[in-house]
């Protein structure tokens, strides 16, 4: 890692103080922080899964939020991509751009990062720190998927968006809309981390559930930009219509049809899993959910597309539901 540019502590002092120790260790890491690159030894029969997530101050989090909360959110959101693939977590790299190198901020950030890393089981493998006009946090996570012994490819052992089938059930984990309803609270008081605000700063990456669904679910992804919009990614990738019975979706607002309820369906920041599976797997999914201590709810069904383009068909009590917005747009 290279320095943020503050003449105070310097590059190597910053690394030693905040990033060199206190993080989980991975048996697969032969060489981590301290050299020009990390050296990772893949376990036999495994293939590497990687994902990069970037968060920008006052776009993805309030710049004035406490540093330890910013770090918790950054790593948890990134780790959710591993859960969506059914990957076992291994480690992460941190890219940190800062307008300053304030010791108190760095200490708080490192404290939150270490706590999140231990909860997610992710070793810090290396990264880069630079000076810039705003805080930008990039986290690359990586994990393992079992190889198919017959083809030497991930095959059915991973969870992907393009492998849903007509007739599959559609499921979600947890409760949808907590993060979206928390956003106004967080914007009003960036230091608040209680109640709904806790779901914004401490999303729960469903890592154990993702691993458990390997070979059970036919397709999956995590919900980051809104349930209905993200369902569209599976619909297009799998060339299917996804019918969502919105009254069956477990939401943070139970007032069907209200603006808060619609926000739950279209708002982002849930980081729950949206997945598809054959109806023959219902009992298996219920058992996995119990083992992982998370609720999983059936909310719809996949079908062959009725039009030229695969769609998400949102229904409320059997009637089409017309929503002005489908989810968060990055551009």
Q: Cβ contacts of residue 47 below 8 Å, gap of 6+?
A: 144, 145, 146, 147, 153, 154
Q: Among 18-22, 37-41, 76-80, 303-307, which is the least confidently predicted range?
A: 18-22
Residue 5 has pLDDT above 50, yes or no: no
Show the tokens assigned to 134: 């705003």
DSSP classification of residue 34 = T
Q: Each residue of 121-167: pLDDT tens digit?
A: 999 999 888 889 999 999 999 999 998 776 665 554 899 999 999 99
Q: Among 76-90, 151-165, 287-301, which is the least confidently predicted range?
A: 151-165
- What is the 3-state composition of the chain as percent helix, strand, coil, each rounded to the nearest 5? 35, 25, 40
Report pLDDT for 154: 52
CA distance 110 to 71: 7
**Residue range 311-329: mean pLDDT, rounded:** 81
**Residue range 190-203: mean pLDDT, rounded:** 96
Residue 33 has pLDDT above 90, yes or no: no
13 Rama sector, left if φ>0, alpha if ψ -120 to 50, beta otherwise:
alpha
Instruction: Give the pLDDT band of residue 274 (cuts 50, 70, 90).
Output: very high
Give the Cα-Cα-Cα angle 312, 316, 320 (nearest 5 degrees).
55
User: pTM of the prediction?
Assistant: 0.91
DSSP 213-269: TTTT-SEEEE-SS-HHHHHHHHHHHHT-EEEEEGGGS-BS--STTSHHHHHHHH---
**Residue range 64-69: mean pLDDT, rounded:** 97
Q: Each residue of 214-223: pLDDT tens digit?
A: 999 999 999 9
Q: Each residue of 232-244: pLDDT tens digit?
A: 999 999 999 999 9
Give percent of the chain above pLDDT 70. 89
Report pLDDT for 330: 46
Task: Give CA separation, 308 vs 158, 161, 163, 305, in Å.
Answer: 29, 19, 19, 7
Residue 331 has pLDDT above 50, yes or no: no
């Amino acid at each position: 890692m290279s320095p943020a540019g503050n003449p105070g502590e310097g590059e190597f002092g910053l690394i030693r103080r905040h990033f060199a120790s206190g993080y989980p260790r991975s048996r697969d890491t032969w060489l981590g922080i301290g050299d020009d690159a990390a050296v990772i030894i893949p376990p036999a029969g495994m293939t590497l899964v990687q994902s990069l997530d970037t968060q920008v101050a006052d776009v993805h989090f309030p710049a004035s939020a406490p540093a330890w909360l910013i770090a918790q959110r950054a790593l948890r959101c990134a780790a959710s991509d591993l859960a969506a693939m059914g990957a076992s977590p291994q480690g992460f790299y941190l890219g940190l751009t800062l307008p300053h190198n304030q010791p108190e901020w760095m200490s708080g950030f490192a404290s939150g990062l270490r706590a999140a890393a231990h909860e997610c089981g992710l070793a810090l493998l290396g990264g880069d720190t630079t000076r810039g006009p705003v805080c930008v946090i990039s986290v690359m996570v990586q994990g393992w998927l079992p190889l198919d012994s017959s083809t030497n490819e991930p095959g059915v052992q991973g969870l992907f968006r393009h492998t849903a089938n007509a007739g599959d059930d559609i499921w979600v984990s947890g409760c949808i809309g907590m993060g979206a309803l928390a956003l106004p609270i967080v914007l009003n008081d960036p230091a608040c981390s209680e109640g709904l605000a806790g779901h914004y700063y401490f999303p729960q990456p469903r890592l154990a559930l993702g691993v458990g669904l390997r070979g059970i679910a036919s397709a999956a992804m995590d919900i980051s930009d809104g349930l209905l919009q993200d369902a569209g990614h599976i619909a297009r990738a799998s060339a299917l219509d996804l019918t969502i019975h919105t009254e069956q979706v477990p939401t943070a607002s139970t007032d069907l049809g209200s603006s808060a309820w619609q926000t739950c369906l279209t708002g982002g920041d849930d980081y729950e899993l949206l997945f598809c599976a054959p109806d023959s797997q219902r009992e298996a999914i219920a058992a996995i959910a119990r083992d992982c201590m998370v609720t999983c709810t059936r909310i719809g069904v996949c079908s062959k597309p009725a039009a030229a383009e695969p769609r998400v068909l949102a229904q409320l009590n059997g009637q089409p539901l017309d929503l002005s917005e489908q989810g968060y747009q990055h551009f």
